[in-house]
Amino acid sequence: MTLDKDDSEAARPAAPIEFRLDAASGVPTYLQLVHQVEHALRLGYLKPGDQLPKVRDVVASLAINPNTVLKAYRELETKGLTAGRPGQGTFIEATLSQVALPELSALRRSLSGWLSTADEAGLDENGIVALFTSALRDFYERRRGSRTGGGAASGRTEGVA
Amino acid sequence: MNVVEASGLGKQYGSTWALRDCSLAIPAGHVTALVGPNGAGKTTLLQLVVGLAAPSAGGVAVLGGRWPGSPAALDGIAFVAQETPLYKNLSAADMLHLTRNLNRRFDQASAEARLAELGIPLQRKAGRLSGGQQAQLALTLALARRPRLLVLDEPVAMLDPIARHDFMATVLTAAVDDGVSVLLSSHVLVELERVADYLIVLSRGRLQMAGELDDLLASHRVLTGPAAEAGRYAERPVVHVRRAAAQAHLLVRATVDDPVPPGWEAHPVGLEELALAYLREPGAAALPGPARSRQAEPSEVTR
Amino acid sequence: MTAMTALTVPARLEEDASLRPVPWRRMAWVTWRQHRVALGGVAALLGALAVYVWILGLQLHHAYAAATTCNPASSACADLITNFNFMNHVLVGGYTLQLVPPLIGAFVGAPVLARELETGTFRYAWTQGFGRSRWALGKLVALAVVVTATAGAFSVLVSWYYQPYFAATGHPALDLSEASPFSLALFDLRGVVFALGTLAAFAIGGLAGMLIRRVVPAIVATLAAYTGLALVAANLLRQHYLSPLLTKAVNVPGSAWIMSQWWTKGGRFAFTSWRDAPNHLIQLCVALPAGPLGKPSQETLAQCFAQHGYTQLTSYQPAGRFWAFQWIEGGWLLALSVLLIAATVWVVSRRAA
């Protein structure tokens, strides 16, 4: 069990990005990794064909559970952003899907409308942010849950009926 | 394969039951966190798993059904006890030699490389190394035996943050590289969430929670709403209630798909909040398998 | 759904279906490395004592050789004989050599297990692949062999020292008759009893260390237990190994172990010591001419009593039975040691944390 850093740097091309962890953010670790990949894609740090850091290297530098990294990479694969090549690693396959410009304008208009409604209801800026964040999180959790067959509601834990 | 299987496991010291009626099955390939307050029975459970203690009631099997004292179990399990016992007047090189002599498998080369990388001098007596270095040395010895299961009793309690990070990085890297399953106990909850994927909660010698961490977190939510309505949910599986004058938080067994009552908000739960809530409710339990849960009326914490 | 883990449980097969145990010889280095200080201490102690015995022994042997080979008629020979007779036939400090077996046993044997339990290192040692019972057995046996052999070598040296006194050929003028091989300063140091006594002390130390779990109390307990054992052996047990011989002879050799003497008349017990003799007998015999020491010698008294019809009976063990006694005592010491070591290993296998 050797952490042979020199070997890895010489023999394999280094991954373009490094992950970081924000322990206080309240966002689940694997989601942080997913977001960082998407963010890197958006900003151009990652391009199709680039390799993501090896699971082992992420674990060694962040001291997190390997399954967390695997979960993040699987999520990226489900989104179609990456693909795993057996024996080699995980590679970027596509860029973030571009939403067409008219659609973006329509979304922005409906968003402005909602914001006016919220403002009239008496919600201040922090309140709007809190509401939106909460709804956003639930939306994606539900979508993920339904995608994996409602596994989150598995009967592994029981309560009094 | 289950690395640890316990059935009605109990251990009595004198007239006190340090551990009672413990049944669980930890699958292989996980990093398991064993959590609970001091005196909950964590060390007792670990000692039963590694064969340092014998059960007073029930039984425990390791590595797919072996008895903890058997040669196969001793061979496949590496244990680092609390306060990392090393022979203080032996050097690191001596400890390597000693461990190599006492075991069937020993990867001397990787152990030496690891110690060199950590900057631990081979010729210095173990008693003169720093706390972090001693912990790393004990861990290196354990991992060099190429175990299937690594058992750590409060491994990072005495370490500074950097030493803690390095220690856990080593453990987790071994989990990736060699497929080692890890069972570690801790009474510090904060860092466990990103390290563990299987959770066991002990309280006063009894098992309160056991399961995959993702499942446990996904099956609990915190509902926040008017305190006046808090009593309405007595019939739902409420684990813990925190009530102020106007507002109440209910930790309930629910998933993200369960409907939220109007006027209430639902939030996801983190490991620390979940574990603390269960620890404050001695009667509550979240255990896998049939007929393993029991729940009394949750007590209320009034502020 | 639980995350599928890629922490693959290694596909490597179970190394052996029936795992071969880790070889015994590995314990050699383990035992040496962990106990080399104690063993070094033993070597230093016995080494220093050996030098002492060696020096005194050379002096004794030279004096003996000179006294026995000189021409008895010459005056120089008388001086040599006197010189020899004045040498201590009980080794100076011989009684302190009795301390060697318990010291070795306590300081080598007690820490073997007590230190592991006291410092908590047993949590390391007993979870290694070697297995705790085999580990304990290997250590105890290895140390026992070393300690016994070393003590045995030392007692050979002590026996060499005493050679002039127990040589087959006596010499009329030499004062050889007072050394009984059964005397306390000699029996425990020669033959096999010294080595096997050390073994027994070691075995007591091992078990005490395992039961008491603290080094210093275990050492103290070992010293106490061995002292008790030695006293019991010397004062209660030894005399019963073989039935003593009875003789009516007046002159029992000084090399014999005299168990008791008493006077009979007409086949019945009369009295034990001449002081308990009937008054008339005392008046008759004690009034005899005084010898060089100012009162009648024992022999004169004895002849006087005999003239009046009293017979002295002596129960004794002849010097020739020395080795028989050694084997008997050594035998049960060995059996006891084996039992104690087995018991220690058994307690190790049973002990919960």
With pLDDT > 70 as the criterion, what percentage of chain A qualifies?
A: 80
Does A67 share its domain with A116? no
Is the pLDDT at B14 greater than 50? The verdict is yes
Which residues of chain B from 140 to 159 reach within 8 Å of chain A, CB to CB? 143-144
Contacts of B175 in chain C (CB under 8 A): 7
Q: Which of C1, C3, C7 is the closest to A149 by Cβ?
A: C1
> CA of A60, closest CA in chain B: separation in Å?
5
* C-alpha atoms less than 13 angstroms from C-alpha of A153 in its C-beta half-sphere: 14
Q: Which of A55, A71, A154 is the closest to C3 by Cβ?
A: A71
CA distance C266 to C323: 36
Contacts of A74 in chain C (CB under 8 A): 3
Can you list the alpha helix ranges (DSSP code H) found in chain C? 26-69, 75-86, 100-104, 110-119, 122-125, 132-161, 163-166, 184-187, 193-212, 215-232, 279-286, 298-307, 322-350
> CA of B180, closest CA in chain C: separation in Å?
7
Yes or no: say if C103 and C44 are a contact pair by the CB < 8 Å rule: no
Contacts of C5 in chain A (CB under 8 A): 66-67, 70
Does A80 share its domain with A41? yes
Question: For residue A20, what are the contacts with CB-CB under 8 A and spacing of at least 6?
Answer: A36, A62
Averaged pLDDT for residues A30-41: 90
Q: Which of B1, B53, B103 is the closest to C9 by Cβ?
A: B1
Can you list the alpha helix ranges (DSSP code H) found in chain B? 42-50, 71-76, 92-101, 108-118, 131-144, 161-178, 192-195, 213-218, 271-280
CA distance A121 to B200: 45
Does A82 share its domain with A44? yes
Identify the pLDDT of residue C61. 86
Q: Which residue of C has its CA nearest to B76?
A: C129
| Structural domain boundaries, residue A69 | 11-92
Taking the Cβ of residue B237 and every Cβ of chain A, the question of whether any pair is shorter than 8 Å is answered with yes
Residue type, C121: T
Tokens 């943050």: give the residue.
B161
CA distance C349 to C342: 11
Tokens 């040296």: give the residue.
C157
CA distance C123 to C115: 12
Is the pLDDT at B252 greater than 80? The verdict is yes
Averaged pLDDT for residues A106-116: 91
Does A16 share its domain with A88? yes
> CA of A159, closest CA in chain B: separation in Å?
6
- Are the Cβ atoms of C15 and B28 closer than 8 angstroms? no
Could you give the ipTM of this predicted complex?
Answer: 0.88
Ramachandran region, residue B202 (left: φ > 0; alpha: ψ -120 to 50; beta: rest): beta
Written as six digits, the tokens of A93 are 């396959």
A3 against B194, higher pLDDT: B194
pLDDT tens-digit readout, C185-239: 788 888 899 999 999 999 999 999 999 999 999 999 999 999 999 999 988 888 8
Which H helix or E strand runs over B250?
Answer: strand B247-253
Cα–Cα nearest to A57, from A49, A45, A66: A66
- Are the Cβ atoms of A67 and C1 closer than 8 angstroms? no
pLDDT tens-digit readout, C280-300: 777 777 665 655 555 556 667
The Cα angle at residue A54 between residues A53 and A55, in degrees rounded to 5:
115
With pLDDT > 90 as the criterion, what percentage of chain A qualifies?
A: 33
Q: Which residue of A has its CA nearest to B190?
A: A23
Which residues of chain C from 2 to 61 reach within 8 Å of chain A, CB to CB? 2-7
Q: Which of B53, B74, B88 is the closest to C128 by Cβ?
A: B74
Does A126 share its domain with A71? no
Q: Which residue of C has its CA nearest to B91?
A: C33
The model's confidence at residue B86, banded by pLDDT at 50, 70 and 90, is: very high
C59-81 per-residue burial string, b: 16 or more CB within 10 A, e: under 16: ebeebbebbbeeeeeeeebeebb
Residue at A33 is within a domain: yes
Q: Which residue of A has its CA nearest to C2?
A: A151
pLDDT tens-digit readout, B30-73: 999 999 988 889 999 999 999 999 999 999 999 988 999 899 99
Residue at A121 is within a domain: yes
Chain C: list its partners (3+ Cβ pairs within 8 Å): A, B
CA distances from C285 to B42, B215, C299 (A): 88, 109, 11
Q: Which of C70-74, C80-84, C108-112, C328-332 has the lowest mean pLDDT?
A: C70-74
Is the pLDDT at B255 greater than 70? The verdict is yes
Yes or no: say if C14 and B38 are a contact pair by the CB < 8 Å rule: no
Q: Which residue of B has its CA nearest to A69?
A: B194
Average pLDDT, chain B: 87
Which residues of chain A from 68 to 107 reach within 8 Å of chain B, CB to CB? 68
CA distance C251 to C298: 10
Averaged pLDDT for residues B219-246: 79
Does A72 share its domain with A134? no
Chain B: list its partners (3+ Cβ pairs within 8 Å): A, C
Residue A34 phi, psi (nearest 5)? -60, -45
Q: Which residue of C has its CA nearest to A145?
A: C1
CA distance C209 to C251: 50
Residue at A75 is within a domain: yes
Neighbours of B295 (CB within 10 A): 17
- Are the Cβ atoms of A67 and C5 closer than 8 angstroms? yes
- Are the Cβ atoms of C19 and B176 closer than 8 angstroms? no
Yes or no: say if C316 and C259 are a contact pair by the CB < 8 Å rule: yes
Does A82 share its domain with A114? no
Does A30 share its domain with A64? yes
Which H helix or E strand runs over A91?
Answer: strand A89-92
Chain C interface test: which of B75, B100, B106, B199 (most C C-beta within 10 Å): B75
DSSP state, residue C318: -
CA distance B239 to B281: 7
Is the pLDDT at C37 greater than 80? The verdict is yes
Identify the pLDDT of residue C286. 65
CA distance C88 to C84: 9
Pairing relation of β-strands B31-35 and B181-186? parallel
Cα–Cα nearest to B102, from C130, A36, C150, C260: C130
Tokens 């410009």: give the residue.
A101
Residue at A67 is within a domain: yes
> CA of B283, closest CA in chain C: separation in Å?
27
Does A48 share its domain with A117? no
Yes or no: say if B199 and B216 are a contact pair by the CB < 8 Å rule: yes
Residue at A5 is within a domain: no
Does A63 share its domain with A83? yes
The domains located in chain B, with CATH, are: 2-213 (3.40.50.300), 220-302 (no CATH)
Does A88 share its domain with A108? no
Q: Which of A55, A66, A148 is the closest to C1 by Cβ?
A: A148
DSSP state, residue C244: P
Tokens 């005196």: give the residue.
B39
B163-175 per-residue burial string, b: 16 or more CB within 10 A, e: under 16: bbbbbbbbbbbbb
A92-131 per-residue burial string, b: 16 or more CB within 10 A, e: under 16: beeeeeeeeeeeeeeeeeeeeeeeeebeeeebeeeeeeee
Identify the pLDDT of residue B74. 93
Averaged pLDDT for residues B257-270: 84
Cα–Cα nearest to A58, from A115, A8, A126: A8
Which residues of chain B from 39 to 98 reach within 8 Å of chain A, CB to CB? none
Query: What's the distance, CA B263 to chain centroid?
Result: 37
With pLDDT > 70 as the criterion, what percentage of chain B qualifies?
A: 94
Averaged pLDDT for residues B237-242: 82
- Are the Cβ atoms of B194 and A67 closer than 8 angstroms? no
CA distances from C251 to C101, C296, C298, C313, C314 (A): 36, 16, 10, 11, 10
- Predicted TM-score of the model (pTM): 0.82
> What is the count of structural domains for chain A?
2
Q: Kindly list the strands in the beta sheet with C268-271, ordered across the sheet, starting from the edge strand earlier in the chain.
A: C245-247, C310-317, C257-265, C268-271
Which H helix or E strand runs over B77?
Answer: strand B77-80
Q: Point out the domain boundary residue: A92, A109, A125.
A: A92
Residue C90 phi, psi (nearest 5)? -95, 125
Beta strands in C237-307 (DSSP E): 245-247, 257-265, 268-271
Neighbours of B23 (CB within 10 A): 17
Is the pLDDT at A154 greater than 50? The verdict is no
C226 against C68, higher pLDDT: C226
How many Cβ pairs within 8 Å bridge chains A and B?
A: 116
Burial class (CB in 10 A: 0-12, 13-18, 19+), B264: middle
Does A21 share its domain with A75? yes
Q: Which of B143, B256, B287 is the closest to A152 by Cβ?
A: B256
Is the pLDDT at A155 greater than 50? The verdict is no
CA distance A119 to C180: 116
> CA of C130, closest CA in chain B: separation in Å?
5
Identify the pLDDT of residue C76. 75
Yes or no: say if B203 and B40 are a contact pair by the CB < 8 Å rule: yes
No. of H helices and E strands in chain A? 6, 2
pLDDT tens-digit readout, A52-101: 999 999 999 999 999 999 999 999 998 888 888 888 888 988 877 665 56
CA distance B119 to B113: 10
Q: What torsion, rounded to 10 degrees, do the Cα atoms C2, C6, C11, C14 define?
A: -60
Check which CATH number belongs to the domain holding A48 and give it: 1.10.10.10
Residue B260 phi, psi (nearest 5)? -95, 130
